[in-house]
Amino acid sequence: MSRFREHGFLLSLLGVIVAAAATPLLLGNPSLREELFLVLMLATLASSLNIIMGYTGYVSFGHIVFFGLGGYFAFYLMQTYQWNFVAAALTAALPSCVIALLIGMPILRLRGATRSFVNNFDPFGGAVGMFFNFSVYDAYGGARNAAQLAYVGMLAVALATIVTSYAIKRSKFGLALLAIREDQDVAMVVGVRPARAKVTAYVISAFFPSLAGAIFFFKNGIIEPGPAFDLLRSIEALVMVMLGGIGTLAGPVIGAALYEELRGLLITNETLSSLHLFVAGVVLLVVVLFVTAGIIGTVRQRFPPLRRYVQ
């Protein structure tokens, strides 16, 4: 019981996500499953971005690099060497972590360079990209079962990202990151090494988008440089973190759910369907000007007794 009190909010959040994700499977609703698949993917991107942005204060517009690289590496392993989907996805995340470790912060500005490299890299299909022969899905019981597997895989990755974010926030390492966010000079005085801490957080945050990218493009059966390194997706992840509450646990998840709902409404509107980037900018502007703490942060500010329960 004491353990539940200590980790109650995390367990409750995970329970809500699992219950919501199980709904389309129990109802046999493919349309709802596809919608929640995107929510889980966006929650993964937002929560992983929050590890570097929310805890260290470093804003990243290039995090989508790892989403694309994970997709490409996994696709290549599955298409060229017939690797199992799970093994390919896990292995594909490692190069992204290595790149994040070797290059560190400068990679945040290299989204365009990465896309140009992939455009001219023949093993990855160049500008055309790569696509699966549908026979690839036979090993998983057909395309329908493969889509189910991808959905469950994305749920697992989203949950793992949230748990990792929670563990970091409660650790000494997390306290060091928060100290860097508040005042890097003071953090150095008390023994924190900002460069090492930031790169470590960056490597951790690179792992989960890579898995999400591998799962997303496996389900789609095709990968191209444009969708793999889409700047809009980076901006959307930033908006979701800010909307839900930067540096909070549930904020990125709530931001992802709300933003995906808004995006769905726009897509179904003929007049507004091409205004995603504009709307994302407007939402970000409104949050920055009027709801600076995001939804979770505002709740914590307005209702102090809830601070220990809402994270």
In this prediction, residue 69 has a pLDDT band, given cuts at 50, 70 and 90, of very high
Of 183, 309, 291, the C-alpha closest to 244 is: 291
Q: Which two tokens stand for residue 276?
A: 């995603």
Pick the closest to residue 158 from 296, 256, 55 (CA basis): 256
pLDDT band at 8 (very low <50, low <70, confident <90, very high): confident
Among 203, 237, 195, 168, residue whose Cα is nearest residue 96? 203
CA distances from 125 to 97, 129, 130, 181, 224 (A): 23, 4, 5, 41, 8
Contact 272, 266 (CB under 8 A): yes
Q: What is the mean pLDDT of the chain?
A: 87
Alpha-helical (H) ranges within the chain are 2-27, 30-56, 64-81, 85-103, 111-119, 143-170, 172-182, 184-189, 194-220, 225-228, 231-244, 251-267, 276-290, 294-302
| pTM of the predicted protein model | 0.92
Q: Would you say residue 3 has pLDDT above 70? A: no
Is pLDDT of 273 > 70? no
The 10s digit of each residue's pLDDT in 140-188 is 999 899 999 999 999 999 999 999 999 999 999 999 998 988 888 888 8
User: Is the separation of the CB atoms in 300 and 310 below 8 Å?
Assistant: yes
Which of 96-110, 189-203, 245-259 is the least confident region? 96-110
Calculate ∠ Cα 101-168-280, nearest 5°.
80
